Amino acid sequence: MTAPLAGPASRKERLALVGLALFVSAGHIAHLPAWLSGLALLLFIWQGWAHWQGRPSPPGWLRGGATLGVFACVFFGIGQLTGQTAGVALLALMTTLKLSELQRQRDAEIVLLLCCFVLATEFLFSQSLAMALYLVVGLLAIITVFVYVHTLAGPGRLRHAIGEATTLTVLAIPLAGLCFVLFPRLPGPLWHLGGGEDSAAVTGLSDRMSPGAISQLARSQRVALRARFDGPAPPPRARYWRGPVLWDFADNTWYNRADGPDLASANVMAQGPTQSVTITLEARDQPWLIALDTPLSADRDYRLGAGATLIADTPINERIRYRTRSALQRRLDPDLSRAARARALALPPAGNPRTRALARRLAVDTDSHGALADRAMKWLAAHDFVYTLRPPETSPRNAVDDFLFRTRAGFCEHYAGAMVYLMRAAGVPARVVTGYLGAEPALYGDYWIVRDANAHAWAEIWQPGTGWVRVDPTRAVAPARIDHLPENGRDSVDAGGNTRANGPLTGLFYRGRMAWDGMNAAWNQWFLAYGPTLQKGLMQRLGLNSQGAGVVVLTLAGVGLLALASLFMLWRMRPARTHDPVLRAWHGVERRMARTGRPRARHEPASQWAARLAPTMPRNGPELIALAADYEALRYDPRTGAAERRNFQRKARRFRRRRL
């Protein structure tokens, strides 16, 4: 069975390539616009059909036109040709178009390389455990097709390709693992591709709280952070995770004015034992380093905001891990600056008249800010407020009035906002704090999970002497939301604050989810978090002091070993050295003559060669003839001895040094 060396790709090979390209691009369907995915799918169907029917590749003008069309589609559909989404779309579509041109083996190889690249771009959008599985299967598929197109047709070809690909992939694991751990990692991006609108990070807590913002977040079961407590976990009532603090109110929205006065960093004084927490925070493209209320410090670059929130220098667009120290009992800003006080009391000049009236009523005969807050809490508890994720509409102009006196149904953001409004109207400095409340212990692994569903908002009021104090109006309305937090995690709290019943199915589901989370946590901790910092730590543990030096030493050692091995091979490749000293001396003479352009032909006996050349060398001709004669005598005459041999060697050496 013979075949040309690089003939045209056969029908089966072409179909295998189409299938592979479809498989590695399939993951992009999730994050490309639907119409682009549809376009790609159409192209795939076209190519699959054409290769199935064994049609020749379309003419050049059609392929060129399709290429231009794809560029135009991406440009007009996405608005640009650069950036992550556009780049990935172009790559996937170009790979599909390349399938229409599979005449030669080289085309097949190009498609294979493109498939590797397409698979790599999938990881720009997600690096979850599921994607790791996709990587393994995708890699196996790619290598299988690699082998497939490099074998000859015959029975069992595909089975052999799969087997060989598996062998290759498995054998490569140790080396790949070593490279992964030891390859020098550089921190930070080398360049920026694409704008913020392309960012794959999902939104989380933001620095604006308009009605519905938190309740929308709370519908998601995505993990916001994972925490590991040093020592016992704090009691459920203390599991407040502090996020952004909002000072200003306008148009029904709590936010932080960009032109607001610069407030000094918060002054936190621990009043008891502190709690250390290691937090793995998911990427949310926000600068907040969420920490247990109230954070004192963290082990990465941060600044402490005026609201005692840890703020990173840049938005966090990758999963990060950090260690924080928090004080459960603390005094926060016992002395309030004038600017902060003014900001914590500011309200729009008009609006919500009934709320303002209520504030005046509550403020009568109260001697302290705390007592006033207590009265407000009691007022909320005494009226039939409903805690719900789907509050009815309120009028935009007097939203707080509507909420407190008409609808009386809302989520924590409504309660926190209304409480702060009420307090400010009564002359008490107050602010909104957003973050998370509660945590769920992981079943597999010593850590706690905080989900977006735990998103929460509460109020803080300022008291002379003690500073900022947490007031959580949600507790007055739905105590279950705070006091009966799902301690063992099996009950989930629905929007009404009622705990759901426990069924066997729920338990199974719960266990499955927890197992998945445990694997993800391990994945995040051991695989995804591996970067320059962890590598440095590993190098230090290996006894190589700095990462640079370690890499240099390893590299030099490796290169040195390889160089030694090559030198050894080169040495072994040297022409075999003749043991006969006479022959060696004669070879020297031959080399000398060859350098002057008079080499001995292979068939020529030594004396004949010398006789042929002697006439061309007036000065050294006789010498050469004599040498040749001596050489032949020494080689073939058994009567010659050591003295003649040494004499010949001397003469040969002299001859080689002459000018010829």
Nearer to another protein, 147 or 634 (CB): 147
Nearer to another protein, 371 or 528 (CB): 528
Q: Is 289 helix (H, G, I), strand (E, B) or coil?
A: strand
Does the active-site annotation cover 472?
yes
Helices 84-98 and 11-25 cross at an angle (nearest 10°) of 170
**CA triple 329-276-441, angle to 5 deg:** 100
Evaluate whether 101 touches 47 at the Cβ level (below 8 Å). Answer: no
> Minimum CB separation from another protein for residue 119, in Å?
6
Site size with another protein, rule: CB under 8 A? 59
Q: Is 629 helix (H, G, I), strand (E, B) or coil?
A: helix
Q: Which of 75, 516, 527, 568 binds another protein (CB under 8 A)?
A: 527
Q: At a CB cut-off of 8 Å and minimum separation 6, what does 393 contact?
A: 407
Distance CA 234, CA 581 (A): 90
Q: At a CB cut-off of 8 Å and minimum separation 6, what does 610 contact?
A: 624, 625, 627, 628, 629
Q: At a CB cut-off of 8 Å and minimum separation 6, what does 131 contact?
A: 27, 122, 123
**CA triple 440-442-447, angle to 5 deg:** 90
> Minimum CB separation from another protein for residue 152, in Å?
5
The type of residue at 213 is: A
Tell which positions 112-171 bind another protein, by CB under 8 A. 113, 116-117, 119-120, 123-124, 127, 131-132, 135, 139, 143, 146-147, 149-152, 154, 160, 164, 167-169, 171
> Minimum CB separation from another protein for residue 157, in Å?
10
Nearer to another protein, 109 or 644 (CB): 109
Q: Which of 62, 68, 137, 176 binds another protein (CB under 8 A)?
A: 176
Candidate ranges 42-50, 174-182, 264-272, 304-312; the one touching another protein (CB under 8 A): 174-182
Distance CA 118, CA 421 (A): 53
DSSP for 470-494, please give it. EE-HHHHH-HHHHHT--SSS-S-B-
Tell which positions 311-370 bind another protein, by CB under 8 A. 318
Catalytic hit among 107, 293, 333, 472: 472
Does the active-site annotation cover 150?
no
> Minimum CB separation from another protein for residue 564, in Å?
18
Q: Which of 175, 258, 350, 382 binds another protein (CB under 8 A)?
A: 175
Q: Which of 34, 173, 350, 382 binds another protein (CB under 8 A)?
A: 173
- 136: part of which helix (H) or strand (E)? helix 129-149
Q: At a CB cut-off of 8 Å and minimum separation 6, what does 293 contact?
A: 238, 240, 241, 242, 326, 328, 433, 435, 470
Nearer to another protein, 6 or 357 (CB): 6
Nearer to another protein, 160 or 323 (CB): 160
Per CB under 8 A, does 4 bind another protein?
yes
Beta strand extents in 149-212 (DSSP E only): 208-209
Q: Is 46 helix (H, G, I), strand (E, B) or coil?
A: helix
**CA triple 146-150-154, angle to 5 deg:** 115
Tell which positions 51-110 bind another protein, by CB under 8 A. 105-106, 109
Per CB under 8 A, does 501 bind another protein?
no
Give the length of the chain.
660
Nearer to another protein, 134 or 415 (CB): 134
Per CB under 8 A, does 590 bind another protein?
no
> Minimum CB separation from another protein for residue 186, in Å?
5
Nearer to another protein, 116 or 480 (CB): 116
Candidate ranges 59-67, 355-363, 572-580, 581-589; the one touching another protein (CB under 8 A): 572-580
- Tracing tokens 């009035």 back to the chain, one arrives at 401
**CA triple 48-51-56, angle to 5 deg:** 135
Does the active-site annotation cover 107?
no
> Minimum CB separation from another protein for residue 135, in Å?
6
Nearer to another protein, 2 or 53 (CB): 2
- Tracing tokens 């062998």 back to the chain, one arrives at 167
**CA triple 416-276-466, angle to 5 deg:** 45
Candidate ranges 43-51, 285-293, 353-361, 569-577; the one touching another protein (CB under 8 A): 569-577
As to burial, measured by CB atoms within 10 angstroms (0-12 exposed, 13-18 middle, 19+ buried), residue 259 is exposed
Catalytic hit among 51, 107, 412, 414: 412
> Minimum CB separation from another protein for residue 109, in Å?
5
> Minimum CB separation from another protein for residue 86, in Å?
16
Distance CA 158, CA 12 (A): 10
Tell which positions 183-202 bind another protein, by CB under 8 A. 183, 185-191, 193
Distance CA 512, CA 491 (A): 15
Active site members: 412, 456, 472
| Contacting residues toward another protein, per CB under 8 A | 1-5, 105-106, 109, 113, 116-117, 119-120, 123-124, 127, 131-132, 135, 139, 143, 146-147, 149-152, 154, 160, 164, 167-169, 171-177, 179-180, 183, 185-191, 193, 318, 527-528, 530-531, 573-575
